[in-house]
Structure 1
Amino acid sequence: MTTVEQPPIGFGRMHRKEDARFVRGRGTYVDDVNLPGMLHGAVLRSPFAHARIVSIDTAAAQAHPRVKAVITGQTLDGLKLAWMPTLSQDTQAVLATDKVRFQGQEVAFVVAEDRYAARDALELIDVEYEPLPAVVDARRALDPGAPVIRDDKDGQTDNHIFDWGAGDEAATDAVFASAEVVVAQDVLYPRVHPAPLETCGAVADFDAVTGKLTMWCNTQAPHAHRTVYALVAGLPEHKIRVISPDVGGGFGNKVPIYPGYVCAVVGSIVTGKPVKWMEDRSENLMSTGFARDFHMRGEVAATRDGKIRALRVKVIADHGAFNGTAQPTKFPAGFFHVFTGSYDMEAAHCAVTGVYTNKAPGGVAYACSFRITEAAYLVERMVDVLAYELEMDPAELRMKNLLRPEQFPYPSPTGWEYDSGDYPRALQLALDMAGYAELRAEQAARPPGGPLMGIGISFFTEAVGAGPRKHMDILGLGMADGAELRVHPTGKAVLRISVQSQGQGHETTYAQIVAEELGIPPDDVEVVHGDTDQTPFGLGTYGSRSTPVSGAATAVVARKVRERARQVASAMLEVDPGDLEWEKGRWYVRGDQSQGRTIQEIALASHSSLELPEGVEGHLDATTVYNPPNLTFPFGAYVCVVDVDPGTGQVKVRRFVAVDDCGVRINPMIVEGQVHGGLADGIGMALMELIAFDEDGNCLGASFMDYLLPTAMECPSWELGETVTPSPHHPIGAKGVGESATVGSPAAVVNAVLDALKPYGVRHADMPLTPAHVWRAIQGRPIRTDLAIT
């Protein structure tokens, strides 16, 4: 049995508070919410990827004895609810009115007495479609004559969404013109899906008497959802309450607002009853927010001895039928321009073009900080391509080009300022843990024709913690977060935060932050989240915002309370506040530690008849809104070892060493759990996960029979290491880690497989590296994976 040292106060290993209910099956998810008189909704979805709607006949469905309402786009159009804003300031049809633009798009919504009747009634709706040509390849979508998907938008005559770039193009071109070595490679990061434990769903309850809407929704951003519902439905924002209970996994999938949520609200308004809508698994995989789907061409300019001088990238980003990306307004391509990664170079430039296709809306921040996963994958593939060209060891090449500690804070060529890091130390630790020299010796000793062995390395830098709000907003809402802390007379505390946990352990780690700052045991701190009526405004949890932003807000508000406690303690001890010094849990008189008061004693006195100095209020409570001065930049070095069967293409991950630096660690056990999950995620994306489409736009990954997820069988025993370089601007020096492993691991796995295939002259192959794809690469017939057609 593993024992866990329980810290009496503050940071360190301790069991998660949340687990007591989860391991007993006592969690509360949206599908667990059942209200008196509740009705059930179901969505009719289009079988076509692109088709004009000729007519919709709902008479038979409305005549069903258990059906209470049938809602169509025409119904919503009369209520001015047919279209809603997306988080990227595009528009999206709630229910299609003119035509459908991807397979699985919402066409009608049935409200019935139970889930089964609602689903049965869908079969009674008769929709006449006029099929149209579909385009699912983002490159072909830009061709002249390609079918125009968003012809609903005034002036839209093609499928182009935006052009965006970063860096100095002229300076980059000049470096390339004088480079000794230039390598180029086309790289695809295919479309993948977050596939959360609980699918998306909502329970809407509109009270016609009070005019209040209460919404239970498994969203990652309750306050942002409330604001958008107010904008869409025209309800006063203070009359909308969004409750996000135990989310059941988010990974970015539960950031957007989906039409089913809006339909549940309309259904409740129309029927006067609560309405629950829950997707099934196929609906979730087919129609909710996807991620990745980037066609990238990378070029590296270098010297012959391996010094990287410049990086140039062109990207076509597939955003699906509606631009539903949840990322800051000023960055339509997300933070992709952190694509220079962890390397020192003279210049860099990227150009990104966003494109509409006949696919479900894409671009969610799936376990990555707004497209950094794609950027990290690209640069790490390009470094290995350069190593292949120069016949240089990939570890040596990376060590030669990594940023050095004395270069921080480091201004990147594309405008970011990295906060802190010791990159060479992290890489060396990973190599030492893996026994890199011995692995290379084992690889060299393998006889030709036998099982193949590959060693893959990746080094990544993430940019997390969006704001600052002067640079970053979504729908005009600045990306800052609030925190409220109150210490009761008995010394117990309640912290209210605006971010929403989906498994990150907020109820534990935030209590530990308060404990560290005030000296209150973590078990005496209750953390409240997921209810807009009970928490301060904030933009939610995604892009590893929790610890960098809301964790900082927690530390700041606790320090405000601590300072207020100083004023009360000064009255209790009859000394000037400046004569008091703090030690964890108490204020004492300088020079006489026996004269002091604990935070619990001070809390009780703050509510008593104690006479306080003029201008000093009683009670120990405070609020704050934290606007981060900069992002934080966690990083890591990963080493993956694989064995490949050349006869079948089967890949087995033998070992995986992960060294992460996320600054100060609040609870190392939770950090390790986050890393474990991200590493498994990376193996899945590298080796098996793919949402594919045929030429007609039919989704070929709409079940777990087709969309494969990693299990314990595919994952090795992870070997974790750490370095700690605190963020200089974060109140506790933390950087965030929730997405790091997902950012760094796919490149390590792919680099390992391609390292194994080096004897066959294979320089690159696109993910996922399934046995069939690996076997074809060995045969000299690599295929692209953006389409399932071979």
Structure 2
Amino acid sequence: MTTVEERPAREANPSATAADRPIGFGRIQRKEDPRFVRGKGNYLDDIVLPGMLHGAILRSPMAHGRIVSIDTTEALAHPKVHAVITGTDLEGLNLAWAPTLSADVQAVLATDKVRFQGQEVAFVVAEDRYSARDALELIDVEYEQLDPVIDVRRALDPGAPVVRTDLEGRTDNHIFDWEAGDAAETDAVFAAADVVVKQEMVYPRVHPAPMETCGAIADYEPIDGKLTLYETTQAPHAHRTLFAMVAGIPEHKIRVISPDIGGGFGNKVGIYPGYILAVVGSIVTGKPVKWVEDRSENLMSTSFARDYIMTGEVAATRDGKILAVRTNVLADHGAFNATAQPTKYPAGFFHIFTGSYDLQAAHCKVTGVYTNKAPGGVAYACSFRVTEAVYLVERMVDVLASELGMDPVELRLKNFIKPEQFPYANKTGWEYDSGDYEPTMRLAMQIAGYEDLRREQAEKRARGELMGIGISFFTETVGAGPRKHMDIVGLGMADGAEVRVHPTGKAVVRLSVQSQGQGHETTFAQIVAEELGIPPEDIDVVHGDTDNTPFGLGTYGSRSTPVSGAAVALTSRKVRDKARLIAAAMLETRPEDLEWEKGRWFVKGDPGAGKTIAEIALGAHGTVALPEGVDGNLDAEVTYDPPNLTFPFGAYICVVDIDKGTGKVHVRRFVAVDDCGTRINPMIIEGQIHGGLADGVGMALMEFIGFDEDGNCLGGSFMDYLIPTAMEVPDWETGHTVTPSPHHPIGAKGIGESATVGSPPAVVNAVVDALAPFGLTHMDMPCTPARVWEAMQGRPTPPI
């Protein structure tokens, strides 16, 4: 069942008890905010340990070059330098190469050659960060420059420079070919179709650019062999396991602490060489070592996102029934294949490129390629390449609408999967859990005043003004699991949760996911409050410390609510069930004679005879004779292995105006209607959506990590890599529908990345729509003023 709503009314009494604040209308303020707004957050660079030293990394100035020699004599002579570590030193420790999240290997420090500008070459440990950076200038490295390969197409040409000469037998830059769908069936549908449209498009390399850059503090204690590692990581438990594998330190002697994080967006999932070098530095010097990168290092060398060249095709009937889609993709993975993707899916969940449409056939092929660029390919505010997939299909639907002369909304409505078809098996093998798409699209049209917008556009075009209306409708796939299908380097995608109610009725919930600003301390407290009736203010949420939380795979791909939220709900229910047994003993009755109302068990037919959760908790720790098999305490633990992914969706409408003289695109309005299933805290949902929409506008109009022909990174600072501010985005107009997930314990689907998935195609579709009078049918991102102006002159847009 789908419920259609516009923005909910704000709660009159935000300090009401949990019983008055059910999930879905609990617009309670975030519990984490008081410390942040008072400047009391505890970020990695705030941590100072006794005797702590500081590390700095010497990075390659070129994209491709053989290392002839490294002379560290002068750096070691610096009076404040305690150690200088090179790749040769790491070879002696068997640490020169480390596994990536894609089961490739990546150089911790370059030994044979450098493979991208910004690659790590040497590590200095000094008494302060300024001395460490000064000492970098004293290291003399002699390089033999090699030709780089930057263009992913050229990288596959015979005779192209080979990036990974370290891999035995490697004679080319090909990483993998991956396919989904039925090629023969798809080809047959295309051959019989009335209309076929084809378009090549680029989703350029962009970067998560979190407010806080990456860093680590390693504190190795040689006496007991324990390593405490403070990290800016989204996956503390996975890092602990991988560090045990890489460094050879027993896992039970490693503690990973992830304090407050200033944004992650996928950038802080992987293990970077700087983390490993901090550990090595601490082992070598016997003191804690802190490493924190600067902004240029973050943009040049940490995990990027996107960088796909996609050729899309759509087959349809003349009256607009979409029959099939197919695509061929070149994926630039940089110098090392370090993408954070499930092992079985090297291209992530790109096979959701079938979108929200009922098709006869589909087929995609993705080819991964090495180039002399920074490695990675993170799940940047999307669930494993879903953003690229949605961008492809939503651009192709607009290309088809232009070919057929149909309104793009009409074309989408004609082809949506119908609600009675759910659960729906798409043509690449995925089962969508639930959906009711038309009401969501209709609500977006209503909020936007769609017909009025089209009339306004016609009037403006008659006057020679450029106004565009862009549509996108997306289905996203999030909540990575079940673990029988999905893992990263052998670690299954399941998550644990623990709930403990103290004798006085206050509670603590421990999570395996890690917040980077999503409001976990509020959201998960609300879930426990809903299940147990304990006020959220009486519930503490603990995360980010492997010694004090259950094992799990961390936060990315919108896993938090779909996976850990389910774990917390189920754990709370186990606590509730245990409370029933204890309450029965306290009330001297049978458990089956008790009935639950939020916060208490009472005797059926006698509501006055009951016990609250607080009373039951005290009884569990007291002298009550407990039933056989009940061990006292009021607590439980669950590891949740999701039966399927969840599939949130949404309808977005973007309105732009373009200045004819400059080509500048002004986003005048943006309407976003999302369906994330059961809504836990609408205020947090809106914040997630607002941030994601800004992200999408930035990617569509300005964000781009570019390279020149020599492999020099052209986006290494915020002077070059532009990100949106409040000046570039409109006041967002939001609405929502509610279609619960049938397999999630509370029906929640996740929202953290939806807006970043749906907004770029809406913006680009709006720009292309505005430029339709010039005969334009496609433009690649970013739609900068220069490129838009060139398009208006009838010239090819400058290459990105």
Q: TM-score scaled by structure 2?
A: 0.98
Q: Tell me if 1:173 matches 2:190.
A: no
What residue identity is the alignment partner of 2:588?
E
Report the CA distance shift for 1:365/1:4 in structure 2 as closer, same or farther (over 3 A): farther
Aligned to 1:339, the other structure's residue is in SS state: helix
Is the contact made by 1:183 and 1:386 (CA closer than 8 Å) also made in structure 2?
A: yes
How far, CA to CA, are the matches of 2:755 and 2:668 in structure 1? 17
| Aligned equivalents of 1:611, 1:273: Cα separation in 2 | 52
Alignment match, 1:692 = 706
1:634 and 2:648 are equivalent in the alignment: yes
Partner Cα separation in structure 2 for residue 447 and residue 265 of structure 1: 62
1:255-404 equivalences in 2 (<5 Å): 255-404=269-418
2:407 is aligned with what amino acid? D
The alignment's C-alpha RMSD in Å is 1.0
Alpha-carbon displacement from aligned partner over 1:396-427 (angstroms, at most 9, x marks no partner): 00110111111100000000000111100100
The residue identity in structure 2 corresponding to 1:133 is D
Q: What's the CA shift string for 1:484-509, capped at 9, x where partnerless?
A: 11101000001011000000000000
Task: Find the counterpart in structure 1 of residue 119 from structure 2.
Answer: 105
Q: How far 1:362 sits from its partner (Å)? A: 2.5
Give the whole-Å Cα distance in 2 for the aligned partners of 1:736 and 1:742: 13
Partner of 2:478: 464
Counterpart-to-counterpart distance in 2, 1:353 and 1:699:
24
1:318/1:362 contact within 8 Å kept: no
Cα distance between partner residues in 1 of 2:343 and 2:634: 38
Could you give the per-residue CA deviations for residues 588-610 of structure 1, whole angstroms, max 9, x where no partner exists?
Answer: 11111111110100000011110
Whether 1:32 and 2:41 are equivalent positions in the alignment is: no
The answer for the alignment partner of 1:246 in structure 2 is: 260
The answer (yes or no) to whether the contact 1:300–1:311 under 8 Å persists in 2 is yes
- Per-residue deviation at 1:783? 2.8
Cα deviation, residue 448, structure 1:
4.4
Aligned residues: 786
| 2:252 alignment partner AA | H
Tell me which amino acid in the other structure corresponds to 2:17: P
Check whether the contact 1:95–1:108 (CA below 8 A) recurs between aligned residues. Answer: yes
Structure 1 position 85 matched with structure 2 position 99: yes
Aligned equivalent of 2:773, options 751, 759, 765: 759
CA distance in 2, matches of 1:768, 1:519: 49
1:615 positional shift: 1.9
Residue 743 of structure 2 corresponds to residue 743 of structure 1: no
- Correspondence for 1:73: 87
Gaps of 5+ in 2: 1-9
Are the counterparts in 2 of residues 57 and 127 from structure 1 also a CA contact under 8 Å?
Answer: yes
The equivalent position to 1:128 in structure 2, one of 142, 152, 163, is: 142
Query: Structure 1, residues 692-725: CA drift from partner, whole Å, max 9, x if none?
Result: 0000000000000000000000110000000000
8 Å CA contact retained: 1:497, 1:529? yes
- Residue 38 of structure 1 aligns to which amino acid in structure 2? M
Are 1:532 and 2:546 matched, yes or no?
yes
The aligned counterpart of 1:492 is 506
CA contact (8 A) 2:52 2:287 kept: yes
- For residue 551 of structure 1, what is the aligned residue in structure 2? 565
Match of 2:4 in 1: none
**Residue of structure 2 in register with 1:523 after alignment:** 537
Partner amino acid for 1:490?
Answer: T
Verify the 8 A CA contact 1:766 1:785 in the aligned structure 2. Answer: no
Shift of 1:779: 1.3
Distance 1:578 1:781 in 2: 77
Q: How many Å separate the matches in 2 of 1:733 and 1:126?
A: 59
- Deviations, residues 265-299 of structure 1 (Å, cap 9, x unaligned): 00000000100000000000000000000000000
2:457, 2:228 → 1: CA distance? Answer: 61
TM-aligned CA deviation for residue 784 of structure 1: 5.6
What SS does the corresponding residue of 2:712 show, helix, strand or coil?
A: coil
- Aligned-partner Cα distance in 2 for 1:784–1:747: 20
- Structure 1 gap segments, 5+ residues each: none
TM-score, L = length of structure 1: 0.99
List aligned pairs for 1:340-739, cutoff 5 A.
340-448=354-462, 450-739=464-753
SS in 2 for 1:723: strand
Hey, what does 2:55 align to over in structure 1? Answer: 41
Q: Are the counterparts in 1 of residues 461 and 467 from structure 2 also a CA contact under 8 Å?
A: no
Indicate conservation of the 8 Å contact 1:688/1:708, yes or no.
Answer: yes
Q: State the Cα distance separating 1:449 from its structure 2 match.
A: 6.1
Q: Deviations over 1:20-60 (max 9, x none)?
A: 10001110111111011100000000001000000000000
- CA 1:785 to 1:482, structure 2 compared with 1: closer, same or farther past 3 Å? farther
- 3-state SS of 2:320 partner: coil
Question: How many angstroms apart in 1 are the aligned matches of 2:527 and 2:776?
Answer: 49
* Inter-partner Cα distance in structure 2 for 1:433 and 1:514: 34
What is the Cα deviation at residue 367 of structure 1?
Answer: 0.2
DSSP 3-state at the match of 2:460: coil
CA distance in 1, matches of 2:499, 2:379: 30
Instruction: Render the CA deviation track for 1:515-536: whole Å, top value 9, x for unaligned.
Output: 0000000011000000000000
Q: Between the two proteins, what is the percent identity of the paired residues?
A: 76
Which residue number in structure 1 is paired with residue 789 of structure 2?
775
Contact preservation (8 Å) 1:603, 1:620 = yes
1:108, 1:458 → 2: CA distance? 47
- How many Å apart are 1:782 and its aligned residue? 2.9
Secondary structure of the 1:314 match is strand
Q: How far is the alpha carbon of 1:785 from its aligned partner?
A: 4.2
| Structure 2: distance between partners of 1:5 and 1:109 | 55
Query: AA paired with 1:637?
Result: A
1:56 equivalenced with 2:70 (yes/no): yes
**Residues of 2 paired with 1:208 and 1:449: CA distance?**
77
Pairwise CA distance, 1:574: 1.0
